[in-house]
Amino acid sequence: MSDITKFIQGISRFQQQHFGNNPDLASELKDGQRPKALLIGCSDSRVDPALLTDCAPGDLFMVRNVANLVPPYETTHGYHGVSSALEYAVCFLEVSNIIVMGHSGCGGIGGLMETAAGKDVGEFIGKWVSIAAPARDKVLEKYPDKSPEEQLRACEKEAILVSLGNLVTFPWIKERVAKGLLALHGWYYNIGTGQLKYYNQFSGEFEILVEPFTAKS
């Protein structure tokens, strides 16, 4: 079976799974969407947010990019893909939650760490991941003696906090958060174990939200 055949057959199974026993779903979805959350995830093939959260069509509005980053609010000329998605989800769909989901073994954050040593990580990637340069610098300053692997794990988490901070530079996000209409969440998914942690703003730590799958077997 060719790689593309696998995907075509997957569409057939998807149709049966979501619409086979629920014909009302298609008619509900065809006229619009009412997702409850916007999720900003990484493009990494191992961390598809809809798969990980077992969502149905219409549940999640999603942005995926290298290293699940949110740029700061900018009004410069240019193509602001992430900002457009934020605007649509927040101002038009009026989602009540935004989740920034990072993960272990992130190649984008790995590239960011390598830029500290002056390595060229690509024509577009280096500039893009520099959004999280404050996270990289903080980790290198805080954990100078940790192994590169441990520094990377720490930077993956710190970068989530940079994105959460950048979210509130958007005035319409800041306003809705202040009014209690919108909640921001930082999640960290461990690919090797399936464990999900969340950022507890009161403790300042990432704490367990879902136990590893290894603990459930």
Q: Which residues bind to Zn ion, rule: CB under 5 A?
A: 42, 44, 106, 108
Residue 96: exposure state from Cβ atoms within 10 A (0-12, 13-18, ≥19) = middle
| Helix then strand then coil, % of the chain, to nearest 5 | 45, 15, 35
Q: How far is the CB of 103 from Zn ion (least distance, A)?
A: 6
Asked whether the beta carbons of 71 and 159 are under 8 A apart, the reply is: no
Q: How far is the CB of 201 from Zn ion (least distance, A)?
A: 23
Closest to Zn ion by CB, 69 or 182: 69
Closest to Zn ion by CB, 47 or 182: 47
Interior CA angle at 27 toward 91 and 31, to 5°?
30
> Tell me, what DSSP letter sits at residue 58?
T
Closest to Zn ion by CB, 37 or 42: 42
Give the C-alpha separation, 24 to 21, whole Å: 9
Q: How far is the CB of 32 from Zn ion (least distance, A)?
A: 31
Asked whether the beta carbons of 66 and 124 are under 8 A apart, the reply is: no
Closest to Zn ion by CB, 44 or 158: 44
Closest to Zn ion by CB, 38 or 129: 129
Q: How far is the CB of 82 from Zn ion (least distance, A)?
A: 15
Q: How far is the CB of 125 from Zn ion (least distance, A)?
A: 11
Sheet strands (E) in the chain: 37-42, 60-65, 97-103, 183-189, 196-200, 205-210
